[in-house]
Amino acid sequence: MIAPATPSPARERALRVLGELPPFSPILNKLIASLAQEDVSFAKIAELIEKDTVLAGNVLRLVNSALYGFPGTINSIRHAVSLLGISKLRNATLSMSVARMWKQVKTPPGWMMGSFNLHSLGVAILADLLAQRAKVEYAEGAFAAGLFHDLGWLLVAMGLPDEYKQISLLCRQGEKWAHEYEVQVLGMTHAELSAEALAKWNLPEPIRIAVRYHIAPDLDPAGAEPGSLPLSRILYASDQYMQGIGTSVSVFEGTEPAAVNPLESLGFSEQIPQVIAEFESEFAAIQPYF
């Protein structure tokens, strides 16, 4: 079992923000439940998508885009399910639903929700593509783990504005890693806070562990089976890659290109060019919805 973060006033105040977020839509509730491996009917999810005209329109625009290149025009969500498969449809719907919810929240000056959304989406897409090509523990959780890996930053920005400002100033002026300033100011990292929030949403433990250790996968107690990778390492590499191409969260993360492609450390270098090509196509296709 994942150990709970050390109780602290900052942690409790930040977690209270979860209750202040806009309520989940019916489709988002179903998607979150499906991640927890509950008995979810994807026929029912398709029906819910169809009732949400904005979401349904976006999903159909995406499935009819050049990214997929299906012949003819797909004009029903049920047809989209049969063509995309449950996993791809869930990923697209989950990311669109979460981004729409985030847009309704109030954040402090300096917080760029657009950058936050795109960074989270990019990490999610890339982690999912990497997990499909490597032997990864709980690969099916890669997209959701990527999408929520920095949720803690959003909670700090919303619930702890003074501490958020202090960490921002320290990051601009100092030479330490942002995580060190987080611990200095908050007594915890945003990764720990993200994992705690996901526990309250009842996401599966492997996703929570990966999120908690995505900044330091070597400390991941889950380890990995011989010949496989822990999901936290996939998240770490994806996160570092997105920062390296300039898609990062405010001042907390670096934007300098890495000297070495962080994806090369995963052990399947020959597949990386194809992964990046697929990532760029998928990321470009879904960006307009964010």
Q: Quick: pLDDT tens for 161-205.
A: 888 888 888 877 766 777 788 888 888 899 999 999 999 999 999
The residue out of 104, 133, 163 marking a domain boundary is 104
pLDDT above 70 for 39: no
Looking at residue 47, what is its pLDDT? 87
Same domain, 153 and 16: yes
Report the CATH number at residue 193: 1.10.3210.10
Looking at residue 257, what is its pLDDT? 47
Same domain, 96 and 12: no
Looking at residue 238, what is its pLDDT? 95
How far is it, in rounded angstroms, from Cα 32 to Cα 202?
8
The residue out of 71, 88, 104 marking a domain boundary is 104
Same domain, 230 and 180: yes
How far is it, in rounded angstroms, from Cα 142 to Cα 209?
12
Q: Quick: pLDDT tens for 82-107.
A: 888 888 888 999 999 998 888 888 88
Structural domain span for residue 85: 23-104
Q: Quick: pLDDT tens for 240-284.
A: 999 888 776 655 555 444 556 788 888 888 889 999 999 999 999
Same domain, 9 and 151: yes
Same domain, 147 and 250: yes
Q: Quick: pLDDT tens for 131-153.
A: 998 888 889 899 999 999 999 99
Same domain, 66 and 122: no
What is the average per-residue pLDDT within 39-65? Answer: 87
Given 3-state DSSP classes, what are the helix, strand and coil percentages for the chain, each rounded to the nearest 5? 65, 0, 30
The pair phi, psi for residue 255, each rounded to 5°, is -125, 5
Same domain, 229 and 139: yes
Same domain, 4 and 74: no
The residue out of 104, 138, 158 marking a domain boundary is 104
Looking at residue 25, what is its pLDDT? 87
Helix, coil or strand: residue 229:
strand
Q: Whole-model pTM?
A: 0.89
Same domain, 126 and 255: yes
How far is it, in rounded angstroms, from Cα 81 to Cα 86?
6
Same domain, 60 and 2: no
Q: How many domains does the chain have?
A: 2
Work out the percent of the chain whose per-residue pLDDT is above 70: 89
Closest CA to 186 of 159, 208, 225: 159
